[in-house]
C-alpha cells in the first residue's frame, strides 16, 4: 500500500459500501492525505464539521446544516470559505439531505470533493475512521514466512537456506495455515496489535527450493491459507548457533524479543541441525508461548520447585 491516500481512491474503496454520490468538486479527486500527517494534527482523521480544528474528512449532518442556516449571509459565506481553505480531503453530507447551493458552489470553486450518503452520521464516522486509520497506519515488510499456528500468528525467520519454506510446508501438511511467504506486510492497527497480510502478488504462494513456487490453496485447499493474522510470536531458525555457556539458557530456552514498529514481539530461537524435527519444535514453542501468555511458565515453576527443595534440604 502507498504512503498516501487520494480522495478518489477513498471514494472508490468505500463508495459502494457507504452509497456515496458526488455532488461537486470532482476536480479535487486528486487531493492527498499523507501517512503520518494526522499524527501532528489535533483532530481525528474524520469527524463532524469543525471550523476551528478541521478534520480531514468533514461530516455534515442535520445539526451542522441547521447551524449554517442560523448564520447571517456574510458570516455563513466566511465560514464556508474557512472550511474550504483548510483543504479537507472531502466533505460528506449525511442522510441524503439537500445540499445548500452556496456549499456546492464553494466546493466547486475550491475543487473540494463533496459527497452525499444515505447513511447516518455515526455510521459514516465509524467506518471512515476505521478505514482511514488502517490505510494510513505505520507499515513494515519483514523477511520470513508468516503462518497461523494453533490460532496465533507466527513469523518464521532465518537466513537464506535455513529451511523456512520447508518448515512452513511441513506445518501446512500438519493442518496449520499459510498467511504470507517471503515478504509479509505488517500494519500497526492499534497500540498493541500488528496485523500481518500478504502482498497481492504473492497471495497463496510458497517457494520451496527444488520444487519452485507452489500454490498452497490449490494443493491443500482453502483451509490451508488465511488472509491475515495478528503477529504474536517470531520463531527464528539459527543455522550455526553458538553454544551457550549459560546454564540458565538450558532451562529457560533461547528467547528474547524483536522490535517491530512500536511493539516488542517475543522471539524463540531454534538451532537448525541434522535430525531435529523443526515442525514439532515450532509447535512446542507456540504451545509454550500460549502457556506463558496465560501466566504459566514451566521454567519458572521448576526454578521455584528447585529453590523449595534446597531450602528443605531434600536434595543430596
- Encode 144-211 in three state secondary structure: CEEEEECCEEEEEEECCCCCHHHHHHHHHHCCCEEEECCCCEEEEEECCEEEEECCHHHCCEEEECCC
pLDDT the model gives residue 260 = 93
DSSP state of 156: E
pLDDT at 140 over 60: yes
Work out the mean pLDDT of the chain and round it to a whole number. 88
SS3 301: helix
Instruction: Give the integer Cα–Cα distance in Å for 228 and 178.
Output: 9
Mean pLDDT of 257-279: 90
pLDDT the model gives residue 58 = 95
pLDDT the model gives residue 280 = 95
Q: Are 208 and 221 in contact (CB under 8 A)?
A: no
DSSP state of 182: S
Q: Which domains does the chain have, with CATH numbers?
A: 4-135 (3.40.1390.20), 139-308 (3.40.50.300)
pLDDT the model gives residue 273 = 83
Helices (H), 111-225: 121-135, 164-173, 216-220
Among 284, 266, 270, 290, which residue's Cα sits nearest to residue 164?
Answer: 270
**Minimum mean pLDDT among 37-41, 87-91, 297-301: which range?**
37-41
Q: Are 113 and 104 in contact (CB under 8 A)?
A: no
Q: Which residues are catalytic?
A: 143, 164, 182, 250
Q: How confident is the model at residue 249 (pLDDT cuts 50, 70, 90)?
A: low
Using a 10 angstrom Cβ sphere, with 0-12 exposed, 13-18 middle and 19 or more buried, the burial of residue 83 is buried
Question: Cα dist. 265→1, 45, 96 in Å?
Answer: 23, 28, 46
Instruction: Give the integer Cα–Cα distance in Å for 244 and 189.
Output: 37
Residue 93 region, left (φ>0) first, then alpha (ψ -120 to 50), else beta?
Answer: beta
Query: Which of the pair, 295 or 231, is modelled with greater confidence?
Result: 231
Buried residues in 217-240 as b, exposed as e (16+ CB within 10 A): eeebeeebbbebbebbbbbbbbee
Give pTM, 2 decimals: 0.76
pLDDT at 287 over 90: yes
| Structural element, H or E, at residue 101 | helix 101-110
Amino acid at each position: 500500500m502507498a504512503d498516501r491516500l487520494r480522495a478518489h481512491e477513498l471514494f472508490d474503496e468505500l463508495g459502494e459500501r457507504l452509497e456515496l454520490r458526488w455532488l461537486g468538486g470532482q476536480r479535487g479527486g486528486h487531493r492527498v492525505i499523507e501517512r503520518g500527517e494526522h499524527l501532528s494534527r489535533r483532530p481525528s482523521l474524520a469527524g463532524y464539521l469543525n471550523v476551528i480544528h478541521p478534520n480531514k474528512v468533514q461530516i455534515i449532518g442535520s445539526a451542522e446544516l441547521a447551524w449554517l442556516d442560523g448564520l447571517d449571509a456574510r458570516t455563513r459565506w466566511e465560514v464556508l470559505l474557512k472550511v474550504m481553505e483548510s483543504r479537507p480531503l472531502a466533505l460528506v453530507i449525511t442522510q441524503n439531505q439537500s445540499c445548500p447551493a452556496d456549499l456546492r458552489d464553494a466546493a466547486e470553486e475550491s475543487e473540494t470533493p463533496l459527497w452525499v450518503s444515505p447513511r447516518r452520521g455515526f455510521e459514516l464516522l465509524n467506518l471512515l475512521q476505521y478505514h482511514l486509520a488502517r490505510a494510513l497506519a505505520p507499515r513494515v515488510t519483514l523477511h520470513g514466512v508468516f503462518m497461523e499456528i494453533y490460532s496465533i500468528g507466527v513469523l518464521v525467520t532465518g537466513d537464506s537456506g535455513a529451511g523456512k519454506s520447508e518448515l512452513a510446508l511441513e506445518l501446512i501438511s500438519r493442518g496449520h495455515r499459510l498467511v504470507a511467504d517471503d515478504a509479509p506486510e505488517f500494519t500497526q492497527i492499534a497500540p498493541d496489535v500488528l496485523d500481518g497480510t500478504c502482498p497481492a502478488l504473492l497471495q497463496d504462494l510458497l517457494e520451496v527450493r527444488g520444487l519452485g513456487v507452489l500454490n498452497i490453496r490449490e494443493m491443500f485447499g482453502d483451509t490451508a491459507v488465511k488472509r491475515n493474522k495478528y503477529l504474536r510470536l517470531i520463531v527464528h531458525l539459527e543455522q550455526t548457533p553458538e553454544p551457550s555457556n549459560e546454564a540458565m539458557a538450558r532451562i529457560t530456552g533461547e528467547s528474547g524479543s524483536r522490535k517491530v514498529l512500536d511493539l516488542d514481539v517475543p522471539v524463540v530461537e531454534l538451532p537448525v541441525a541434522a535430525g531435529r524435527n523443526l515442525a514439532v519444535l515450532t509447535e512446542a514453542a507456540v504451545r509454550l508461548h500460549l502457556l506463558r501468555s496465560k501466566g504459566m511458565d514451566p521454567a519458572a515453576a521448576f526454578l521455584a520447585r528447585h529453590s523449595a527443595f534446597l531450602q528443605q534440604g531434600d536434595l543430596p
